[in-house]
């Protein structure tokens, strides 16, 4: 299917240099972005699942179930707090030294921190040092993924022809559902092979240790990729000394748009993929295995849909597709908690499936939309900071605030309203980004 050029208002500042678009190079770059981000998100998600399944008793013993859940989610959220720092530092390196080398550094950082979590002694062995080290390693995970996303998106988008940037920008986005499938599949396999006692005691470490092998594969693929042609062109005119200063001084509106876009998207993603498992097991008394299986199946369905929405966005317009996706997602997320509360696996599958699938219309095109509102010399820094701050605002806080709202007098109506507002912000951010790009920033 051939896509027509994107709507004019979707195009941000572009490099004046035209790079040849060799199909083999495009496929190689897309594969490298896909493999690398899939490994990074696998590492990030297995922490979230382990936080739900084992980290409470292993690293935060004592206290109530609610306190243990909040403590586990708290360490999960710490990774999000570190992500903007990684976005700034790796964004600076990516804008100054290149996308390719920075992506190698983020992959190694993530692999080392994840492997060390798999080797970490528990509270029973080293006392309070265990949760402290766990938090520090989670910070390193967040630091790495904070730099990963922007570089993976840009090396795909900047190699692609302008009329297909939505489509090629979605390949790094596929790393999220693939990482989710791999993480959930790993824990489903462990649950099938090992008794619950063994899983809690030591078998949970296996998916973390597997990261060392996966990172080796990712490095092999990623080192074969050529540098972005737009970055190479921008180097000839000299890169800015501090790209983040230019971003915050001259493009703060675009940063706010990025925060809004990704705040809602990540809130829905983590509520449906992480919070749902915690809520289903702790509040509804359901078995963990079917919930993990539901999330896994939904993530598999998301793979082709994310690509399809991104491809169609090259014709429909990036911001328009994200905005209409926000409308559909708001409807789905409004029904999410009521459907979850029924305890019916069929209705829970409907809640998770409709929420995440509707949000694919936002997720697929959002990478190209967020990147193209910046000029190449500050694009890594600008797109990374907007996305990572949005992830804190949405993905990190959503499980915590939803848990607290459900336990408060506001209850389910308050928690549902909060999630709908978050999704509405995504649509608003997409429209604002389009208008800023049309107005020239």
- For residue 9, the model assigns a pLDDT of 41
Q: Is the pLDDT of residue 8 over 60?
A: no
Q: Is the pLDDT of residue 3 over 50?
A: no
* 268 contacts: CB under 8 Å, gap ≥ 6: 329, 333, 355, 356, 359, 394, 398, 419, 422, 423
Q: Is the pLDDT of residue 439 over 80?
A: no
* 86 contacts: CB under 8 Å, gap ≥ 6: 106, 142, 143, 144, 145, 146, 147, 148, 384, 388
Over the stretch 13-51, which tens digit does the pLDDT of each residue have? 444 344 456 777 888 888 888 888 898 888 888 887 888
- pLDDT tier, 124 (very low <50, low <70, confident <90, very high otherwise): confident
What is the rounded CA–CA span in Å between residue 208 and residue 160?
34
Element (H or E) spanning 8, and its range?
none
Token pair recorded at residue 99: 């996308």
DSSP string, 369-382: HHHTTS-GGGHHHH
* Residue 406 or residue 274, greater confidence: 406
- For residue 313, the model assigns a pLDDT of 94
Q: With beta carbons less than 8 A apart as the criterion, state whether 348 and 291 touch.
A: yes
What is the rounded CA–CA span in Å between residue 328 and residue 397?
22
Q: Quick one: how many helices (H) and strands (E) in the chain?
A: 21, 0
Over the stretch 146-180, which tens digit does the pLDDT of each residue have? 888 888 888 888 888 888 888 988 999 998 889 88
- pLDDT tier, 229 (very low <50, low <70, confident <90, very high otherwise): confident
Q: Is the pLDDT of residue 253 over 80?
A: yes
DSSP string, 46-98: HHHHHIIIIIHHHHS-SS-HHHHHHHHHHHHHHHHHHHHHHHHHHHHHHHHH-
Over the stretch 351-375, which tens digit does the pLDDT of each residue have? 999 999 999 999 999 999 988 888 8
- Domains assigned to the chain: 22-438 (1.20.1250.20)
DSSP string, 19-39: PP--HHHHHHHHHHHHHHHHH
Over the stretch 374-426, which tens digit does the pLDDT of each residue have? 888 888 999 999 998 998 889 888 988 999 999 999 999 999 999 999 999 99
- pLDDT tier, 266 (very low <50, low <70, confident <90, very high otherwise): very high
Least confident of 1-10, 112-121, 202-211, 376-385: 1-10
* Residue 165 or residue 8, greater confidence: 165
Least confident of 220-234, 312-326, 333-347: 220-234
CA 292 vs CA 120, 242, 264, 352: distances in Å = 25, 43, 23, 11
* 248 contacts: CB under 8 Å, gap ≥ 6: 255
- For residue 69, the model assigns a pLDDT of 66
Report the candidate in 231, 258, 264, 242 with the shortest Cα–Cα distance to residue 103: 231
Share of the chain above pLDDT 70, in %: 90
- For residue 78, the model assigns a pLDDT of 82
Q: What is the mean pLDDT of residues 68-89?
A: 79
What is the rounded CA–CA span in Å between residue 352 and residue 169?
25
3-state secondary structure 129-159: HHHHHHHHHHHHHHHHHHHHHHHHHHHHHCC
Highest mean predicted confidence (pLDDT) among 146-150, 182-186, 306-310: 306-310
């Amino acid at each position: 299917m051939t896509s027509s050029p994107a709507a004019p208002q979707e195009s941000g500042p572009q490099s004046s240099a035209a790079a040849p678009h060799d199909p083999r190079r495009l496929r190689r770059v897309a594969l490298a972005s896909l493999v690398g981000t899939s490994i990074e998100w696998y590492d990030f998600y297995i922490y979230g699942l382990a936080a739900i399944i084992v980290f409470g008793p292993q690293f935060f013993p004592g206290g109530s179930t609610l306190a243990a859940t909040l403590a586990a989610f708290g360490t999960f959220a710490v990774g999000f707090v570190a992500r903007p720092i990684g976005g700034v530092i790796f964004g600076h390196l990516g804008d100054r030294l290149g996308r390719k080398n920075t992506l190698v550094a983020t992959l190694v950082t993530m692999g080392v921190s994840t492997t060390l979590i798999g080797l970490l002694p528990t509270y029973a062995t080293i006392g309070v040092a265990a949760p402290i080290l766990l938090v520090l390693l989670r910070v390193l995970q967040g630091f790495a993924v904070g730099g990963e996303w922007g570089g993976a998106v840009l090396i795909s988008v900047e190699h692609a022809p302008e009329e297909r940037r939505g489509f090629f920008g979605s390949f790094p986005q596929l790393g999220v559902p693939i990482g989710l499938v791999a993480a959930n599949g790993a824990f489903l396999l462990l649950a099938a092979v090992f008794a619950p006692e063994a899983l809690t005691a030591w078998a949970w470490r296996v998916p973390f240790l597997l990261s060392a092998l996966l990172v080796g594969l990712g490095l092999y693929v990623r080192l074969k990729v050529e540098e972005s042609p737009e970055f190479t062109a921008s180097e000839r005119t000299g890169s800015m000394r501090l790209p983040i200063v230019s971003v915050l001084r001259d493009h703060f509106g675009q940063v706010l748009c990025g925060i809004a876009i990704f705040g809602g998207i990540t809130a829905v993603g983590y509520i449906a993929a992480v919070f749902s498992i915690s809520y289903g097991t702790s509040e509804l008394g359901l078995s963990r295995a079917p919930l993990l299986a539901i999330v896994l199946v939904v993530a598999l369905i998301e793979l082709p849909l994310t690509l399809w929405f991104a491809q169609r966005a090259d014709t429909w317009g990036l911001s328009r597709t994200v905005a209409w996706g926000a409308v559909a997602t708001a409807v789905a997320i409004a029904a999410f908690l009521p459907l979850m509360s029924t305890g019916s696996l069929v209705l829970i599958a409907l809640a998770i499936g409709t929420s995440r699938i509707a949000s694919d219309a936002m997720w697929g095109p959002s990478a190209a939309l967020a990147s193209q509102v910046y000029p190449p010399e500050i694009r890594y820094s600008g797109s990374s900071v907007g996305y990572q701050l949005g992830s804190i605002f949405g993905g990190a806080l959503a499980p915590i605030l939803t848990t607290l709202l459900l336990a408060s007098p506001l209850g389910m109506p308050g928690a549902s309203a909060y999630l709908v507002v978050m999704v509405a912000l995504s649509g608003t951010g997409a429209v604002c980004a389009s208008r800023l790009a049309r107005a020239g920033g």
